[in-house]
Amino acid sequence: MEEAKAAAKPTVYLTFDDGPSQQTKEVLAILKREGVKGTFFMLGKEVKRYPAMAKQVVKEGHAIGNHTYDHVYAELYGHFAVFAKQVMDTDEAIFQATGVRTNLVRAPGGTYGNFDQGYFDALAKAGYIVHDWNVDSGDSKRVGVPAKEIISTVEGSKLSSKVVVLMHDSSIHGESVKALPEVIAFFKKKGYQFAVLTDQVKPIQFRLAETLKWKRAKVTAAETQSLAQFMARTRAKPENSAPKPQSLVLHAGDAEMTFAPEDYRMTNGTIEVPLRQLVAGLHGIIRLDMSNGVAEAVVNNQSVSWTASEVGGSGKSMPSRIMVPLRDTLQRFQMIINRIVATADKREIWAGQSSI
């Protein structure tokens, strides 16, 4: 029951377009004070101007979206190639400033009357998610809309269980900052939870207009492809897709030793470690009888021997590096593995004296 209730809690996504700006700091301070997160659809050129602000937005747990580079409608909606280029340039600018790649896009002016199906399709095919809104705070209806009017516009809006509020973050929107605390208070009072837009949030998108505001050529396959290629290239993470090399840390009684990723190997679930390093770590001694091809190690007063052929040598010649299976070898030294924990950057093993 409790879960069902939680899931049914209405959610509001506050979105701030056109920043970052000199006001972002104040917006962030209010959000922090109120304990809520928002989504900032940034312009590439403003990210270049205020990279530290963009970074702080991310650091404080808010989401970033792409709002094109310069917001010039006639350019963006005159030709899809320009829109795509601005999205890519902004993607890069945001990444340079924050280390984040965002797939969220908001069309300047919204998609209605600006996007045709080709715009929607090309962006979707590349993997961008286009978000319009369903509550317009009206803060950019004209210059200098007073805070009071912004608040009453929001409060007078039809609210669904999922609300995406359009607000602005730019130097001409000081009134939006003034209105923000009351806008937040309003949604809190209505029982809304606040969240940031992510790739998992189904976007609100306006329907297609019957007639566009612009005359332009159709989006071409080449334009679609070049955007998709940009995404494929920038989202490929070779360093993350290959498993990161992990060190192996062994705690055995009061001994502790670390095997570098290149100093141990895992074959079919069996961990093999260099005998020399293991014995040294366990405060034991090792003797090599080269004439007979035998290695002997003494640990905990237990003497264990290996013949050359047991450790991958041939005849009586020992390999230059003797690798032994860890679990088995510890057992022969009267120790057992109690616990293995693997994290992103290391494997950690705890072993102790076996009771028998």
Residues forming contacts to Zn ion in the complex (CB under 5 A) are: 17-18, 108
43 or 326, CB closer to Zn ion? Answer: 43
For residue 50, which amino acid is it? Y
User: In angstroms, rounded to a whole number, what is the distance separating the alpha carbons of residues 289 and 100?
Assistant: 58
Place of tokens 């055995």: 252
C-beta of 17 vs 272, nearer to Zn ion? 17
The burial class, CB within 10 Å (0-12 / 13-18 / 19+), for 244 is exposed
Report the C-alpha gap between 356 and 353 in whole angstroms.
9
CA torsion sign for 217, 222, 225, 226 is negative
Q: Could you tell me which residues are beta bridge partners of residue 227?
A: none
Nearest residue to 90 (alpha-carbon basis) of 105, 74, 79: 105
Q: Which residue is nearest to Zn ion (CB)?
A: 17
Tell me 77's DSSP state.
T
Comparing CB distances to Zn ion, the nearer of 136 and 263 is 136
Taking the complex as a whole, how short is the minimal distance between the CB of residue 21 and Zn ion, in angstroms? 12
Token pair 């369903």 in the structure block, residue: 134
Region class of 289: left (phi > 0), else alpha (psi between -120 and 50), else beta:
beta
Output 106 or 347, the one with its CB closest to Zn ion: 106
What is the smallest separation between the CB atom of 205 and Zn ion, expressed in angstroms?
16
**Toward Zn ion, which CB reaches closer, 26 or 136?**
136
Residue with Cβ nearer Zn ion (107 or 323): 107
Alpha carbon distance 282, 55 (integer Å) = 47
DSSP letter for 290, please.
T
CB distance 176 to 139 below 8 Å: yes
Whose Cβ is closer to Zn ion: residue 18's or residue 139's? 18
Give the type of residue at 88: M
CA gap 140, 244 in Å, rounded: 48
| Minimum distance from residue 169 beta carbon to Zn ion (Å) | 10
Residue placing its CB nearer to Zn ion in the complex, 46 or 116: 46
Separation of CA 194 from chain center: 20
* Least Å from the CB of residue 140 to Zn ion: 7
